[in-house]
Amino acid sequence: MGTNYNEIAGQSVERIAALSDGIFAVAMTLLVLDLHAPAAQAFHGNHGLAAALAGLLPKFAVYVMSFLTLGIFWVGQQTQLNYLETTNRELTWLHLLFLFFVTLMPFSTQLIGAFIEYRAALAVYWLNILLLGSALLATWRYSLFARLTKADMPEAMRRGVERRILIAQGLYAAGAALCVVDTYWSLGFIVLVQLNYAIAPRILGLRRL
Q: Report the chain (209 residues): mean pLDDT per 10 consecutive residues.
A: 50 88 95 72 64 69 90 94 92 96 95 88 93 96 92 85 90 89 87 83 50
Find out whether 122 and 187 touch, Cβ atoms under 8 Å. Answer: yes
> Residue 30 belongs to what domain range?
5-208
Cα–Cα distance measured from residue 132 to residue 97, given in angstroms and rounded to the nearest whole number: 9
Cα–Cα distance measured from residue 89 to residue 69, given in angstroms and rounded to the nearest whole number: 27
Find out whether 58 and 118 touch, Cβ atoms under 8 Å. Answer: no
- Per-residue pLDDT at 200: 66
Cα–Cα distance measured from residue 168 to residue 172, given in angstroms and rounded to the nearest whole number: 6
Cα–Cα distance measured from residue 122 to residue 131, given in angstroms and rounded to the nearest whole number: 14
- Per-residue pLDDT at 198: 81
Residue 41 CA to chain centroid, in angstroms? 37
- Per-residue pLDDT at 136: 96
- Counting the structural domains of the chain, the total is 1
- Per-residue pLDDT at 1: 44
In terms of residues, how long is the chain? 209
- Per-residue pLDDT at 203: 43
